[in-house]
Amino acid sequence: MEYRAPLRDMHFVLHEVMAAETLWQSMPGTAEFSASVVDAVLEEGARLTSELIAPLNPTGDREGVRLHQGGVATPEGYREAYRTLAEGGWVGLGGNPEYGGQGLPVMVTTLFEEMLQSASGAFALYVILTSGAALCLDTHGSEAMRAHCLPRLYSGDWTAAMCLTEAHAGSDLGLLRTRAEPLEGGRYRLAGTKIFITGGEHDLTENILYLVLARLPDAPEGSRGISLFLVSKFLLDEEGRPGERNAVHCGALEEKMGIHGSSTCVMHFDDAVGELIGEPHRGLEAMFTMMNDERLSVGLQGLGAAERAWQLSLAYARERRQGRAPGDPGRSRAEADPILVHADVRRMLLTQKAWVEGGRAFAAHCGRQLDLARHHPDASQRQRAGAMVALLTPLAKAFMTDRGMEGCLLAQQVFGGHGYIREWGVEQLVRDVRISQIYEGTNGIQAMDLLGRRVVADGGEVLGWLLEDIRDFLAGEGAALEAELRDPVRAAVDQLESLTRWLVAEATEDAHLVSAAAVDYLEALGRLLYGYLWARMAAVARRQLAAGGGEEGFYQAKLDTARFYMERLLPKVASLCQVMRQGSAATMAIAAEHLGP
């Protein structure tokens, strides 16, 4: 079955729920964007992703990447597709217009990225890493770096890779050992080996840029002694033209569970020549510009895969006939009814629908905060939105990918045995989406970042702003909603607020509390936020139905799904809170040597 971009739902989120055009026209940096321009962009994005990229997904999975003549060959069709996409401006969709980017608001780029991820998660990685590296260079690079690199990254002449991980340094980057020795002329010589580097080598473009974390000779220990360097596969001359081959090579390709079309490389830097990006020893901070951008993109990988799986399983559930609808044996003359009639299949379908449509609204909500942080004319509003982005980023990465995995598994279950075999494509989605929970900082690390650094460290202040926003909505626009769509959200806000107060106080006494509670906390807050967004979507749907402008089926389905969410998915917040209040004692009690034989 072909991928069909959910354009109607995207319009609903962007225009009806987020009132994007009104926001853009109120800010100088985005005032040129109208709903009609953006809709035309999304329509073209939908055409390209469904016609050009989606067909490469199953073939890319079967063919995979391979070492070839000292380089890496990507699956057939990847090279042409990458060029077409870049020439159309899609790699630089959110990029800086001064250097050839399109400068579209993040609320729009998230929607396009979702389509790209639905079409092919493996292919999308080459695009998202390149646009993330461009953002990092634009923010922290020298003028020459911006002038030489950004136009080539946006145009698709070059791609970029992110080089953090080493064999002994994964989550703990403070352990990394790659060294950078100063050379004459302000350059550096880099030596070390990075592993698991996505897009480290490939045949899509003539050059590859590497953003590499390494240590200078006088560097302090740990994460405070890390600097960021730009290494080009081919050394760049004064004008930024690639010439001689640099001493960076792919030593091996990893064999993986999924995303077979994406190259995952062991990269050797054998005295490769590089340049410093930003200030010495401040590399991790600069790299976070790229990592935070990738975290939202990886969240969208979860969402995109779940959307594709949802489309496949809904179509299947409409066709597949097994069993009779209970309670009405004489109704159907067919031997069996479509499995859609069974409540348990409904449960699986509605859960997917709630996560996918809730996730789309959540991604747009994150995009809105990023747009405000970049473009709002008032500095205090930019700062507030920036703090909100810091709070939402670990959620965007971890909650969207956890729900992405859940959605793909539910779709596979809807298919029964047919979901386990290759033919229908759901099996590939399950394999491909799994990595999204692991890379770009595992979801456990995201949860600790959320609870430890974003909530407990500031005594819950920024979280308090978010809870206040939710309460304001419930007291204002949400007050017109039926109690069943409003009260569960209010209850979850109260539960989470009281739990947060308890955690902030207890964390000073119990050193393991944050780590023990983090994953549950992230899930509870994610469920609450989706609940808030479902209530907002329900309020819009209720208004549209009252206005009688048509599309009753679409809006009624929003209300029905919101109700399902409030009754079946939101109440888990209470039990998660209860679990967290147990503290860390039971988790830490057992002696390490007694955990197993």
Ligand X SMILES: Cc1cc2nc3c(=O)[nH]c(=O)nc-3n(C[C@H](O)[C@H](O)[C@H](O)COP(=O)(O)OP(=O)(O)OC[C@H]3O[C@@H](n4cnc5c(N)ncnc54)[C@H](O)[C@@H]3O)c2cc1C
Instruction: Kindly list the catalytic residues.
Output: 440
Tokens for 233?
A: 């596969």
Which of 204/537 has CB closer to ligand X?
204
Q: How near is the Cβ of 493 to ligand X at its closest, in Å?
A: 28
Helix-helix angle 426-433:56-63, to 10 degrees: 70
Q: Which two tokens stand for residue 385?
A: 């939105």
Structure tokens at 566: 């409030």
Nearer to ligand X, 35 or 445 (CB): 445
Taking each continuous run of H as one helix and of E as one strand, the counts in the chain are 19, 11
Residue 430, both tokens: 């399950």
Return the SS3 of 583.
coil
Distance set, CA 33 to CA 27, 102, 591 (Å): 10, 11, 60
> Looking at this protein, which amino acid is placed at residue 355?
W
Nearer to ligand X, 165 or 352 (CB): 165
For residues 352-378, b (16+ Cβ closer than 10 Å) or e, as one string?
bbbbbbbbbbbbbbbbbbbbbbbbbee
Q: Nearest approach, Cβ of 439 to ligand X (angstroms)?
A: 4
Please identify the residue of the shown chain whose CB is closest to the bound ligand X: 170
Phi, psi of 271 (to 5 degrees): 60, 45
Taking the least distance from each CB to ligand X, the nearer of 118 and 437 is 437
Query: Hey, how many other C-beta atoms are within 10 angstroms of the C-beta on 347?
Result: 13
Q: Which is nearer to ligand X, 176 or 566 (CB)?
A: 176
Residues 6+ apart with CB under 8 A from 160: 129, 130, 132, 133, 134, 153, 199, 208, 209, 210, 211
Residue closer to ligand X (CB basis): 172 or 378: 172
Residue closer to ligand X (CB basis): 106 or 197: 197
Name the residue nearer to ligand X (CB basis): 129 or 410.
Answer: 129
What's the min distance (Å) between Cβ of 440 and ligand X? 6
CB of 452 to ligand X, least distance (A): 10
Alpha helices, DSSP H only, in 320-378? Answer: 343-375
Q: How far is the CB of 171 from ligand X (least distance, A)?
A: 3
Q: How far is the CB of 436 from ligand X (least distance, A)?
A: 10
Minimum gap (Å) between residue 522 Cβ and ligand X: 12
Q: Phi/psi at 93 (nearest 5 deg)?
A: -55, -40
Least distance (Å) between residue 57 CB and ligand X: 17
The string of DSSP codes covering 178-237 is -EEEE-GGGEEEEEEEEEEEETSS-SSSSEEEEEEEEB-TTPPSGGGGBEEEEEESEEE-
CB pairs under 8 A, 24+ apart, for 486-492? 486/535, 488/531, 488/566, 488/567, 488/570, 488/571, 489/528, 489/531, 489/532, 489/535, 489/566, 489/570, 491/574, 492/524, 492/527, 492/528, 492/531, 492/570, 492/573, 492/574
Residue 327 burial by Cβ neighbours in a 10 Å radius (0-12, 13-18, 19+): exposed
Least Cβ distance, residue 166 to ligand X (angstroms): 8
544 φ/ψ angles, rounded to the nearest 5 degrees:
-65, -40
Contacts of 156 (CB under 8 A, 6+ apart): 82, 83, 85, 86, 87, 91, 205
- Contact residues toward ligand X (CB under 6 A) are 162-165, 170-171, 196-198, 256, 264, 435, 438-442, 444-445, 448, 515
- Cα–Cα distances in angstroms (integers) from residue 36 to residues 14, 33, 39, 494, 516, in the given order: 12, 8, 5, 40, 48
Q: Look at strands 158-163 and 207-214 and give their pairing.
A: parallel
Q: Give the nearest distance from C-beta 212 to ligand X in angstroms.
A: 9
80 CB neighbour count, 10 Å cutoff: 12
Residue number, 519 or 540, with CB nearest to ligand X = 519
Cβ closest to ligand X, residue 154 vs residue 196? 196
The stretches of 509-596 forming alpha helices (DSSP H) are 513-547, 552-564, 572-580, 585-589
Burial bucket for residue 156 (CB in 10 Å: 0-12, 13-18, 19+)? buried
Of the pair 293, 440, the CB lying nearest ligand X is at 440
126 contacts 77 by C-beta, under 8 angstroms: no
**In the complex, minimum distance from the CB of residue 451 to ligand X, in angstroms, rounded to a whole number:** 11
